[in-house]
Amino acid sequence: MNTICIKGDLYMKTRDIIEEIFNAITHGLGIILSIIGLVLMLHQVITHNKDSLYILSAIIYGLSLIFMYSMSTFYHSFFCLPTVSRIFKILDHAAIYILIAGTDTPVLLTVLRHYHGLAIAIIIWIVALIGVLWQCFNVHKFKKLATLCYVLMGWLLVGTLPILWIHLSPQAVIWLLVGGLWYTLGAIFYLWKKLPFQHLIWHFFVLGGSICHFYAMYHYVLLASPILL
């Protein structure tokens, strides 16, 4: 098969180069959508006179989306520059922990703030930072274990869903669940290395999960009042 570019010490196949280009394009689209989403969320909470924790939640969630999609896009864009690519690979994997914590934050700081939401948010961010540090030293190792950690951390708030179902909205819970399933099912393709264009497929699942979670945040979580004990 034709080769065009060298990545590290290995020649990349033409198909791999095409996939990397589309990997960058798909998550480049994610950057644009995330920026738009952040603006929309800020407009939503400000026009509805929400307090500072709602504004902070929207900013954290929006920036975590932008950061994750940016690191992924840069990683796949610099595939012909081994040193740069390795740096962004670390940031790309670390950004997943940031996004998970960033996605949990609006739920914890707004509707669940009276259910020890702030304390739980702090714990989740500590776990995320530990994950980031772990990725810095093990980005090329334990891929299946890292993926399992992503999935488990992503479902940490599953125990709060009954509370949200009753006091927030069944529709919100459904959107949160569907988003989680998009990410989780996508992890299968992320690990399925023998499948052609498996990483590109994973990217579409990530976009699907992000869109579902954004919908839940924008239409339900950021508009709801804190649930009282």
What pLDDT, in 10s, does the model give residues 93-117?
A: 999 999 999 999 999 999 999 888 9
| Contact status, residue 107 vs residue 58, Cβ threshold 8 Å | no
Q: Per the domain annotation, does 229 fall within a domain?
A: no
125: pLDDT strictly greater than 80: yes
| Contact status, residue 165 vs residue 156, Cβ threshold 8 Å | no
Dist CA 75 CA 62 (whole Å): 20
Q: What percent of the chain has pLDDT over 70?
A: 92
Q: Per the domain annotation, does 228 fall within a domain?
A: no
Q: Per the domain annotation, does 85 fall within a domain?
A: yes
| Contact status, residue 41 vs residue 60, Cβ threshold 8 Å | no
For residue 201, what pLDDT is reported? 95
Q: Per the domain annotation, does 70 fall within a domain?
A: yes
For residue 9, what pLDDT is reported? 42
Q: How many residues does the chain have?
A: 229
Contacts 24+ apart (CB under 8 A), 216-219: 216/172, 216/175, 216/176, 216/179, 217/41, 217/58, 217/61, 217/106, 218/37, 218/40, 218/41, 218/44, 219/171, 219/172, 219/175
Backbone φ and ψ of 112, nearest 5°: -105, 20
Q: Per the domain annotation, does 60 fall within a domain?
A: yes
Dist CA 50 CA 11 (whole Å): 54
Q: Per the domain annotation, does 207 fall within a domain?
A: yes
213 annotated to bind ligand: no
Q: Per the domain annotation, does 113 fall within a domain?
A: yes
For residue 172, what pLDDT is reported? 95
Q: Per the domain annotation, does 201 fall within a domain?
A: yes
Token pair in block for residue 196: 């052609």
Range(s) of the domain holding residue 177: 3-223
Domain count within the chain: 1
43 annotated to bind ligand: no
Q: Higher model confidence: residue 6 or residue 97?
A: 97
Q: What is the CATH number of the domain that holds 28?
A: 1.20.1070
Residue 141 DSSP code:
S
76 annotated to bind ligand: yes
